[in-house]
Amino acid sequence: MFVGEHHRTIDSKGRIFIPVKFREDLIKGVILSKGFGGKCLFLFSKEGWKMMEEKIKSKKMAERSMLRFSRWFSSSASEESLDQQGRTRIPQKLLKYAGLKKDIVILGLPDRAEIWDKEAWLKYYEEADSQYKRDEKSLEQLDL
């Protein structure tokens, strides 16, 4: 289950400790990819990745924008695993893409986790928090 905000650090080998709450879903493997909607990485369980693949497959691949997205997103994916201590490795190209340095935040979302550079996450969160405090209609429009 992916829930909450977890602060971690990246070690010298590019590894991070996965929150204990997340590990059960990731026993069979971890898929890391470029994120979108902010400069972050997506972390999927194998089942979550399959669901994302199905969403992509359901789109019209003849559409140039969908084909471009599919190539961009899928080519960045990296299959990883958890070690005995509950760590996973983040490939160098993904570290660079998301601007991950040392301090990171791992967020739980309903269908995946996201990995953010701590400073980038705090800035993003402050902007979102400010928007929703200013404009409660923004929340109402989400129809939750």
Stretch 132-138: mean pLDDT:
69
Check if CATH label 3.40.1550.20 holds for domain 4-140: yes
| Contacts within 8 Å (CB) and 24+ apart, 11-17 | 11/87, 13/89, 14/89, 14/90, 14/91, 14/92, 14/95, 15/83, 15/87, 15/88, 15/89, 15/90, 16/87, 16/88, 16/90, 16/104, 16/106, 16/115, 17/85, 17/86, 17/87
pLDDT tens readout for residues 48-72: 999 999 988 887 766 788 888 889 9
Backbone angles phi, psi at 33, to 5 degrees: -150, 170
pLDDT tens readout for residues 66-114: 888 889 999 999 999 999 999 999 999 999 999 999 999 999 999 999 9
**Residue 138 pLDDT > 70:** no
Q: Between helices 64-75 and 46-57, what is the axis angle to 10°?
A: 160
pTM of the predicted model, to two decimals? 0.89
- Smallest Cα–Cα separation from 90: which of 131, 30, 23? 30
Sketch the domain layout of the chain as residue ranges.
4-140
pLDDT tens readout for residues 5-21: 999 999 999 999 999 99
pLDDT of residue 42: 97
pLDDT of residue 128: 85
